[in-house]
A and B are shown apart, each in its own frame.
Chain A
Amino acid sequence: MNTYNFTSSAKSFLIKGFIGGLILFAIGLATKWNDTSHSLNTQIIANVYTVVIYSFWVGVAAMFFLSATTLALGGWHIQIQKILLAIGGTLPFSVGLMIIFFAVFSHDLFHWTHASLYIEGSPDFDEVLASKHDYLNPTRFWAFAIVLLGTTLALYFMWKKNLTDMDENPSVKLFDKSRAIAAASIVIIAMGINTFGTWDWTMSIQPHWYSTMFTWYTLASASATMFCILYITVIYLKRNDYLPRVNENHWHNVGIYIFAASIFWTYLWFSQYMLIWYANIPEETIYFTKRMNGYSEIFYLNLILNFVIPFLTLIKRDAKRNYWTPIIIGSIIIVGHYFDFFTMIVPELVEGGGGFNLIGIGTFISISSIFVYISLNTLSKYTDLESSTHPYIRESYENQI
């Protein structure tokens, strides 16, 4: 059994998840229908955009991790590399959704797209934004978006083609090619997609504010989620009798990565907060003011879910090897990092609190069900689930830590 069979019960479970999410979304809409304190339109856009951006970065993190381990001549992940590729399989869909958002809702999402801000003498004239107009303008935004999103997709399809070719007729030449793709991916993701992507698509929602740590912070957040998804998928497949030669050493490795990514995320989150707190410059503190007024519960919950809980529970070796702890903690971390992306985007658009309600919960459940469906569907297309013809497969079989 070396091909994943996407069973109809798994499909119907995800479809039920999607419908359940839609029902929650509808209940949320109904309760907020007569509430005029926030525009319903903005709330829906902000919540859906949060989940889309979240899944986009999770896909990018999967590609980044696959590239990094391949480039470092890692061997242990070979049996589970198809899962990484399947997590990246959501990229075409999230990229499509993002382009729709940029094309249709850019005025709702991005304050700086309004032309009147840059006309001197108009009541909306903003001196700070006018000084940034050389960078923050729609032409540059679209050029960067097309290049960056196009490169993301190109890298994904190159990876997919390479690994599928390797299944059919393996050769050292193909393996060398995969290392070349890995090298290119790392540089392009780190210095191109991640850097400019986070500036354009998340940070520019608050155009007056900037942080040099925002880029890594986003990728660290997405990486922690990606490792949790990887862990849960590995255990799911293992319990359904796939991946016969994956054992506790492999998921221990993934568990270590969950722990490491959570600590790394905390380091960046805290550094960003501490520097801004210490310098106390009004244009920087505005970011945290908006998040602590009305969203303070989510803001602090974020730190508990993503740092305190994983740190205290996953620190022991046995906790990473018995798989129930990481599955429970992993689910908590996935929700926790949803809150992280939520605090990046929603408090700016739905100011003063009240942005977190059933609309957001429903969107998260239904859209993530779609993305899990797409991922598993991509996974079921691979004929060789454990990449048994890869030159490094022996190292993966005999992985021991």
Chain B
Amino acid sequence: MSTKKYLVGLFDDDHTLLHAIENAVEQNMEMSDVYTPFPVHGIEDKMKMRRTKLHTAGFIFGLTGTITAFSLMAFANAVNYPINFGGKPVFALPAWIPIMFEFTVLFSGVGMVLTFYYLNNLYPGKKPEIIDPRLTDDMFAITFDMTKDSSNKSNLSEFLKKEGAVEVFEKEF
């Protein structure tokens, strides 16, 4: 497996971090990711991240669930083996709607979890890539990807230090 290299700048204050992100975006520096121990409001907008398309995936999964439930019930109850239940029509749409609803929720729920794992590169038995254990406690980090191109490393570390990073180091996985 090829190694991944990151340049990490650790910050101890979220306002300094937000300021650093703003400047990095302004100078067209391509950040790999930002890590925070708690949700920081407005960080996605500042990073100019594109919004997730997970909802669209959820909608498609949900639609698949609706169609699955409907076609199975329609085929079984109305086409393949029609049985008279209490004088109701064999194509009893109102009675199927709760099941169609449940299938929609089930498919979109499970599908979105799996998509989320796939998008975040998570799977059972994955070796955790921990940048720094303090990131779950009181530290914030901006990382730059150095795997392919590390020519502007000194530039970037200088930038991070100037923005108030308490520590700048390199991390390999």
- Interchain CA distance A270-B55 in the complex, whole Å: 26
A280 with B86: CB separation less than 8 A = yes
Task: Indicate if B130 sits at the interface (CB-CB under 8 A).
Answer: no
Q: Give chain A interface residues in 256-285, CB to chain B under 8 Å.
A: 270, 273-274, 277-278, 280
Contact with B along A21-63 (1 / 0, CB 8 A): 0000000000000000000000000000000000000000000
Residue from the set A274, A280, A317 with the largest chain B CB neighbour count within 10 Å: A274
A322 at interface by CB-CB < 8 Å = no
Complex interface: chain A residues within 8 A of B55 (CB): 317
> In A100-145, which residues have CB < 8 Å from any B CB?
none
Q: Could you tell me which residues of chain A, from 348 to 401, have a CB within 8 Å of some CB in chain B?
A: 398, 400
Query: Does B98 interact with chain A (Cβ within 8 Å)?
Result: yes
Which of chain A's residues have a CB closer than 8 A to the CB of B94? 270, 273-274, 277-278
In the complex formed, the residue of B with least CB distance to A399 is B41
Q: In the docked arrangement, what's the CA distance between A246 and B98, Å?
A: 39
Chain A residues with CB under 8 A of B41: 398, 400
Q: Specify the chain B residue showing the minimal Cβ separation from A275.
A: B94
Query: Is A274 a contact of B86 with CB atoms below 8 Å?
Result: no
Q: Does B95 contact A (CB under 8 A)?
A: yes
The answer to whether A274 touches B97, judged by C-beta atoms less than 8 angstroms apart, is yes
Q: Roughly how many angstroms separate A274 CA and B87 CA in the complex, as a whole number?
A: 15
Residues A278 and B95 in contact in the complex (CB < 8 Å), given A400-B41, A400-B42:
yes
Q: Does A180 contact B (CB under 8 A)?
A: no
Closest to A277 in B: B94
CA distance A278 to B94 in the complex (A): 8
| A315 in the interface (beta carbon within 8 A) | yes
B98's nearest neighbour on chain A, judged by CB, is A274
Do B97 and A270 have beta carbons less than 8 Å apart? Answer: yes
**Minimum CB distance partner of A398 in chain B:** B41
Residues of B within 8 A of A315 (CB): 59
Residues from chain A with Cβ under 8 Å of B88 in the complex: 278
Q: Which residue of A274, A317, A398, A400 is within 8 Å of B95 (Cβ)? A: A274
CB distance from B73 to the nearest CB of A (A): 15
Residues from chain B with Cβ under 8 Å of A400 in the complex: 41-42
The distance in angstroms between the C-alpha atoms of A323 and B98, with both chains bound, is 33
The smallest beta-carbon distance between B87 and chain A, in angstroms, is 8
Q: Which residues of A contact B95 (CB under 8 A)?
A: 274, 278
Query: Once the chains are docked, how many angstroms separate the CA of A315 from the CA of B59?
Result: 10
B105 CB, min distance to chain A CBs, angstroms: 12
How far does the Cβ of A309 sit from chain B's closest Cβ, in whole Å?
Answer: 17
Q: How many angstroms from the CA of A270 to the CA of B100 in the assembled complex?
A: 13
Within 23-47 of B, Cβ neighbours of A (below 8 Å) are at 41-42
Q: Whole-angstrom distance between the alpha carbons of A273 and B98 in the complex?
A: 12
Distance between Cα atoms of A274 and B96 in the complex (Å): 10
Within the complex, the shortest CB–CB distance from B106 to chain A, in Å, comes to: 17
Q: Distance in Å from the Cβ of A268 to the closest Cβ of chain B?
A: 13
Find the B residue at minimum CB distance from A273: B94
- Looking at A278, A280, A315, A317, the one whose CB has the most chain B CB atoms below 10 A away is A278
A-chain residues with CB within 8 Å of residue B51 when the two chains form the complex: 317
Against A, the Cβ 8 Å flags (1 = close, 0 = not) of B77-105 are 00000000011100000110110000000
Cβ of A277 to closest chain B Cβ, rounded Å: 5
**Bound Cα distance A277, B86 (Å):** 12
Which of B42, B59, B94, B98 gathers most chain A CB within 10 Å?
A: B94
A400 vs B42: C-alpha distance in the bound complex, in angstroms? 8
Chain B: CB-nearest residue to A267 = B101
Interface residues of A in 309-351 (CB under 8 A from B): 315, 317
Complex Cα–Cα for A273 and B97 (A): 12
A317 to B53, CA, bound (A): 11
Task: List residues of chain B with CB within 8 A of the CB of A270.
Answer: 94, 97
Q: How far is A400 from B97 in the complex, measured between Cα atoms in Å?
A: 36
Name the CB-closest residue of A to B86. Answer: A280
**Cβ–Cβ < 8 Å partners of A317 in chain B:** 51, 55
Residues of B within 8 A of A398 (CB): 41
**CA–CA, A400 and B51, complex, Å:** 15
Question: In this complex, what residue of A is CB-closest to B45?
Answer: A400
Smallest beta-carbon distance A274→chain B, Å: 5
Cα(A317)–Cα(B87), bound, Å: 44
CB closest chain-A residue, reference B85: A278
Residues of chain A with a CB closer than 8 A to B97's CB: 270, 274
CB distance from A116 to the nearest CB of B (A): 37
Give chain B nearest CB distance to A273 CB in angstroms: 7
A318 to B163, CA, bound (A): 34
Per-residue interface assignment for chain A, residues 271 to 308, with 1 indicating a CB less than 8 Å from any chain B CB and 0 otherwise: 00110011010000000000000000000000000000
Nearest-CB distance from A289 to chain B (Å)?
16
Write the chain A residue with the least CB distance to B96: A274
In the complex, chain A residues whose CB is within 8 Å of the CB of B42: 400
B-binding residues in A (CB < 8 A) = 270, 273-274, 277-278, 280, 315, 317, 398, 400
14 contacts between A and B (CB under 8 A): A270-B97, A273-B94, A274-B95, A274-B98, A277-B94, A278-B88, A278-B94, A280-B86, A280-B87, A315-B59, A317-B55, A398-B41, A400-B41, A400-B42
Closest A-B pairs by Cβ, 7 of them: A274-B94, A277-B94, A400-B41, A278-B95, A400-B42, A270-B97, A273-B94
